[in-house]
Structure 1
Amino acid sequence: MIGISTFPYITMSLYDALSEIEKLSSHAEVLSESRHNILLYGEVLSSFNLKYTIHAPITDMNFSSIHPPIRDAAMGVLEDVIRYGVEIGAEVFVVHPGYLGWITDLELAQQRMRVSLNGMEALAKEYGVLIAIENQPDHEYLLFRTPDLLSELDGLGFTLDVGHANTAGMLPDFLEHQVDHLHLHDNNGETDEHLAIGEGSIDFSEVAKATKSNGITKILELRDAEGLEASLSELKKIYED
């Protein structure tokens, strides 16, 4: 299954975004941000015959904060999103693991991230869903840029963001591990461009070899909608070879 993120349509209303996605795919991943915040606008989800995965909010969500009230607030928002998502049949929730605050100690932030991951494991069990942690692009303030964290995701899943991994030069390393959910977009290995498939340097045939047999959902996560149809067509050919 190849689905489409609402990210390229983020300036539209959620209803209009899903209307566009429904023309191309039977699966939408809702980025719960801005006009697509499911806690504010989620009532429109039931208007469509789509299967949903949910990308948890990113803005102001730092699961690695050294300040417990900030982590607690992020966990509260995540639980609200999961609770709502379960009501509309979503089973997979994508989560960014957090980032370093200004002059924050890396080891301390990583410790706090592990506290949050333990809390997410409890949420996944309570609601019977897959919370899949997403690897991040190559910026020093972001955590989980290499596969090291994968050994600590007990009870949680892994979302491989192919474009993010390419910016860190880590795509082959990540592909050696089990992938539970997939984000697909292209770049030239330097910045997180979210280009259409084939516009960057990523060899998607290698991605397909490592992931085609496990039946996971693959989500196109482009920056704009112009390349969606061509990217969808190209991915279908790659995965069918």
Structure 2
Amino acid sequence: MDAARTGVYGQRTMLKAIRLLSLLLILVLGGIWSWAWLGRDAGETLADSFARRLAAVTGQDGALPSAGGVQLPQGMVLGGPFSLVNHEGRPVTEQSFAGRFLLLFFGYSYCPDVCPTELGVIATAMDELGPAAARVTPVFVSVDPERDTPAQLADYVSRFHPALVGLTGTPEQVAAAARAYRVYYAKVNRPDMSQYLMDHSSFIYLVGPDGRVRALFRPETPPEAIAQAVRGQLRGG
């Protein structure tokens, strides 16, 4: 009988302890959520802010999602110096865009689907920004320098947005720019095709005035979401 009472008492004590720990956990998570809400960075989603602060509290060093929703390895830096030629035939470097935000996309003018779709998204995002778009330059970097001459790009970018800048260069220059942004691309030849295609990654990069990537957007990200992230970064400077 005493053993039974002891067992019941032990179960009740354990249940009380579990309830107490659950309550404490709820209070702690609620506090972190409030902290995340009040201390969000410009352009940062509430979920990203919560994850960042939870990692700080728990001492985790794992990767956190960027403002564009893509998870990057901790410490990875995207962007950097490049030397290319614009669609007017003028040499440009990253310094040509110093002090400006960029919406940057790597692709090629002969692309049958993804490139025109994503450039259309960028154009719509620029229109969504209204007057704030004056501080942003949309940029299209070709990964097909063999066919994408400045003249070819001039015609191509004019179809999407008046502010869109097309960039090309030598194969070596293009490869160096692609490495800086961790862009994958490769020529694809098939027997059933009269012209080759370029297989390539299809992210849109939001680049800050310092030349570093602030946000990374997956293909088919709504232009409204991109515009919202850009506004947040513009407020933060």
Q: Same fold (TM over 0.5)?
A: no
Question: What is the TM-score when the length of structure 1 is the normalising length?
Answer: 0.29
The structure whose RCO (Cα within 8 Å, separation 6+) is larger is: 2
